[in-house]
Structure 1
Amino acid sequence: MQKIYLLFLLLLTSTLYSQQIDNINTDRPDQSEGVYTLPKNKFQLEDGFTFSNENISNNLMLRYGIFNGTEVRLSSDFEKSKSENIEADNLVLSFKQRILEEKDYLPAITLVGYLTYKNPIKGWQTDVYLAFENNISDEFVLCYNVGTSNFFRELNVTTQFGYSITKDVYTFLEYFAIFGNQLPLHNFDTGLLYSITSDFQVDMAFGRSIFNENSNWFVSIGFAYRFF
C-alpha cells in the first residue's frame, strides 16, 4: 500500500511540474521584439533562413538569462547575394531588461538595446527599443515596438496582432516601418509558429513591402530550442 501511495505521489508531482513549464517563447520569425526574457541561467538557441528577391541569409541568435528579467543575446547574420559569396553581414550584442509587468490595461514593457558591428561599412551602430505587450484575451495579444536606430537617425515602429489557435500553434499579422531622412519604408508580414514540444519550436513567415513600387518580399523558416 505504501509503495502504491509513493508511486501515485510521484506521478502527481511529475504532472504538476510539467504543467508549470510554459512553451518556448521566441523572438523569431516576426520583426517585433517580445517582452519575454529568459529565466536565470537558461539558454536558448534560435536559427533560421530568410529568402528574398535579393539574397539568402542565415539568422542565428543565442540567448541567455543572466537574472530573472535580464537577458543577454548574441546574434549574427550570414548573407549570400546573387552576385557575391557568403559573408558575415552583422554581429550583434544585445540585452533585454524587463521594466514592467502587465497590469489591467497597462502593458508589459521591456527595454531592448543593441550594439551592432556592421560588416559592410566596417563600423558600429547602436539601437534602442521599447517593447510593449497587451493580452487582449486568452487567445489574442497585441505587441508593439518603438525604437531608434543608426545613431538616432531613424525611427522604427512595429505593431503585431497575434492569435493562439491552440496551446501549441500561434499565428500573427504584423506591420513594421522605418522613418528616416529618406521616404518611409512600410512593410507587413504574417507567420505561423508551432511548438512541437515545450522546448522545441518551428516557424515560418512571409512578408513584403507596401506602398512601394518595388515589391520586396521575403520568406523565412526556422526553429528554436530551449535548454534547461
Structure 2
Amino acid sequence: MSQSLKNLFIILLLSIFNSVFSQNIITDRPDQTESPNTLNKGNLQIESGYLSLKDRETSSKMTQSLIPTNLFRYGLNSKIELRLLTQFENQEFENVKISGINDLELGIKIKVLKKENINTEISFLTTLIIPSASNDLSINSLGISNRMIFSHTLSDKTGLGYNLGYDYFGSGKGNLTYTLAIGTSLTEKLGFFMEPFGEIVDIKSFILNFDSGFTYLVKDNFQLDCSYGTGVNSKMNFFSFGISWLIKKRKKIKNI
C-alpha cells in the first residue's frame, strides 16, 4: 500500500473512531437531580464549584460555604462509573467558626436501562460516607446514600429527570429524598433548569425546596454553571457556581 493511501486510511479511521467514541460533557451539577449518564470507559470528569448557604430556621442562624466542592467521576466501562467527592467546608453560627475537609464520599453509579425508543434512562447510585473529617464536621459513623435516577427526553431541547432515594447516617430512621427537574436548551450553548427537591427527615418531617439555574457549554468538554435555591417551607437559601471538565481517554491508533 502506498504512503498516501496509508495516510488516507488512517484519517478515515480517526474520523470513524471519533464519531463512535466521542462523548460530550453531561454533568451532575448544578441541580440536585443526578443524571443517569455514565462516563465512557477511561474518561475522567471533574465537577468543581462554590456553594454559599444560609439557614435561618433555627436561632443559631448558620451560614455554610463549600469551596471548593470537587466531584471526580471515572468511567470503568460504558455502564459503570466510580465517584469521589471531597469538600472544604466553612460553618459560622453564634460567633463560632468551624472549617475543614468534610467526610469523604465514595460512590458508584450503574446504568440500569437505556431505551432510545421510549426516550428513557435509569441508573442506580450508591454512595458511602466515610467519617474522615474532624468531629465538628463529621457524621461520626459510616453513612450511606442511595438513589434511583430516572430521565425522559421530552423533545429535542427539553428533558425531565427525577430521583428517589434513601439516606442513612448512623442514627434515627434515615431520610427519604426526592428531586424533580426539568431542563431546556435556550440556545446551542445555554441551558436552563428549575427543580423542586427535598427530603422527609427521619421519615416524618417533610421539607420542600426549590432551585433554578443556568449552564453554559464553553466547549464540548467544558461547562460553566450557576444556580440559586430557597426553602419553600423552611428559611433557607443558597447560591452556587461552578465549572466542569471532561477529560477523554486518548485512543491509540496502531501503525499500518
TM-score w.r.t. length of structure 2: 0.79
Please report how far the alpha carbon of residue 117 of structure 1 lies from its aligned counterpart in structure 2 after TM superposition. 2.1
What root-mean-square deviation, in Å, do the aligned CA atoms of Structure 1 and Structure 2 show? 2.4
The one-letter amino acid paired with 2:109 is: K
Cα deviation 1:155-214 (Å, max 9, x = unaligned):
1010000101123221100111101334211111101111101111111110011023x2
Q: Any idea what SS the aligned residue of 1:86 has?
A: strand
Decide whether the 8 Å contact of 1:100 with 1:108 is kept in 2.
Answer: yes
Range with greater deviation from structure 2 (4-13 or 46-55): 4-13
Q: Any idea what SS the aligned residue of 1:184 has?
A: strand
**Residue from 89, 95, 108 that aligns with 2:108:** 95
Residue in 2 aligned with 1:179? 200
- Same amino acid, percent of matched pairs: 26
Range with greater deviation from structure 2 (152-161 or 70-79): 152-161
The one-letter amino acid paired with 1:169 is: L
The one-letter amino acid paired with 2:66 is: S
- Summarize the Cα distance change of 1:223–1:210 in structure 2 as closer, same or farther, 3 Å threshold: same
Residue in 1 aligned with 2:33? 32
Q: Considering only CA atoms, is the larger Rg found in Structure 1 or Structure 2?
A: 2
Paired with 1:226 and 1:204, the residues of 2 have a C-alpha distance of 18
Decide whether the 8 Å contact of 2:23 with 2:40 is kept in 1.
Answer: no
The one-letter amino acid paired with 1:168 is: K
Residue in 2 aligned with 1:221? 241
Cα deviation 1:93-115 (Å, max 9, x = unaligned):
00100010034446210010010
Residue in 1 aligned with 2:85? 75
TM-score w.r.t. length of structure 1: 0.88
Q: Any idea what SS the aligned residue of 1:84 has?
A: strand
Residue in 2 aligned with 1:107? 120
Paired with 2:222 and 2:179, the residues of 1 have a C-alpha distance of 26
**Residue from 56, 64, 82 that aligns with 2:74:** 64
Paired with 1:67 and 1:17, the residues of 2 have a C-alpha distance of 17
Paired with 1:66 and 1:150, the residues of 2 have a C-alpha distance of 26
Decide whether the 8 Å contact of 2:45 with 2:73 is kept in 1.
Answer: yes
Decide whether the 8 Å contact of 1:78 with 1:90 is kept in 2.
Answer: no
**Residue from 223, 246, 251 that aligns with 1:201:** 223
Decide whether the 8 Å contact of 1:129 with 1:145 is kept in 2.
Answer: yes
Paired with 1:33 and 1:189, the residues of 2 have a C-alpha distance of 14
Decide whether the 8 Å contact of 1:209 with 1:217 is kept in 2.
Answer: yes
Q: Any idea what SS the aligned residue of 2:142 has?
A: strand
Residue in 2 aligned with 1:23? 24
The one-letter amino acid paired with 1:225 is: W
Residue in 2 aligned with 1:162? 183
- Summarize the Cα distance change of 1:204–1:9 in structure 2 as closer, same or farther, 3 Å threshold: farther
Paired with 1:225 and 1:106, the residues of 2 have a C-alpha distance of 26
- Number of aligned positions between the proteins: 225
- Summarize the Cα distance change of 1:8–1:193 in structure 2 as closer, same or farther, 3 Å threshold: farther
Residue in 2 aligned with 1:210? 232
Decide whether the 8 Å contact of 1:23 with 1:168 is kept in 2.
Answer: no
